[in-house]
Amino acid sequence: MGKEESFTRIIKENEGLIFKITTIYTENGQDQKDLYQEIVYQLWKSYDSFRNESKISTWMYRIALNTAIGQLKKSKKHSNKTGIDQVVLRQTESYDTEFENRLKMVYEQIHQLNILEKGLILLLLEGKKYGEIAEITGLSETNVGTRISRIKQKLKSRILKK
């Protein structure tokens, strides 16, 4: 299998993680598409440097989070701050209205977290263990645990106020 085919297969197998990062770090659909493309481009540029020393998903998360954070910092420098669009959830028969409302509230609160907190909570929601989150973010495992604990408290207190 050639390089392009291998890369395309990896992107297709892991497009969910890219989608989740773009959802957390953007405010509207067009920005999400732009960020998705930029992440894929950065992954392609870095593809030859992947040395299989970690899982492919860990490598992808690291590049995707760094790209998203970089884009967010650039956009804040070059534009005025705008309000966050309402989170649009796909309507499915398995969701009930109460669950959808709670999920919207949680995502609204996640959008209000700072850049690093968004990334940490996203990785936690993905089911990543503290060790893998530390590897992706470059933080120590202890620091990851402490920060996640604080983020959970912050989200809990904000949601209970609503």
- In terms of domains, do 76 and 92 share one? no
The boundaries of the domain holding residue 102 are 86-162
Q: Write the burial class of residue 34 (CB in 10 Å: 0-12 exposed, 13-18 middle, 19+ buried).
A: middle
Check if the beta carbon of residue 119 is closer than 8 Å to that of residue 137.
yes
Please report which helix (H) or strand (E) contains residue 151, including its range. Answer: helix 141-161
- Between residues 51 and 36, the one the model is more confident about: 36
Averaged pLDDT, 5-20:
91
The region of weakest confidence among 2-16, 42-56, 71-85, 104-118 is: 71-85
- In terms of domains, do 52 and 95 share one? no
Q: Write the burial class of residue 80 (CB in 10 Å: 0-12 exposed, 13-18 middle, 19+ buried).
A: exposed
Task: Give the pair of three-digit tokens for residue 155.
Answer: 């989200």
Q: Which of 84, 113, 131 is the last residue of a domain?
A: 84
Task: Give the pair of three-digit tokens for residue 51.
Answer: 């040395």
Q: For position 27, what pLDDT does the model report?
A: 82
pLDDT above 70: percentage of residues in the chain: 86
Question: What string of H, E and C letters represents the secondary structure of 45-66?
Answer: HHHHHCCCCCCHHHHHHHHHHH
Q: What is the largest CA-CA distance in the chain?
A: 54
Whose tokens are 């709670």? That residue is 102
- Between residues 75 and 50, the one the model is more confident about: 50
Check if the beta carbon of residue 107 is closer than 8 Å to that of residue 121.
no
- In terms of domains, do 94 and 77 share one? no
Is 50 exceeded by the pLDDT of residue 30? yes
**pLDDT of 83-137, one tens digit each?**
444 444 444 444 467 777 887 888 888 889 998 999 999 899 888 899 999 998 9
Could you give the 3-state DSSP secondary structure of residue 161?
helix
Indicate the pTM of the whole model.
0.62
The span from the CA of 36 to the CA of 31, in Å, is: 8
- In terms of domains, do 1 and 80 share one? yes
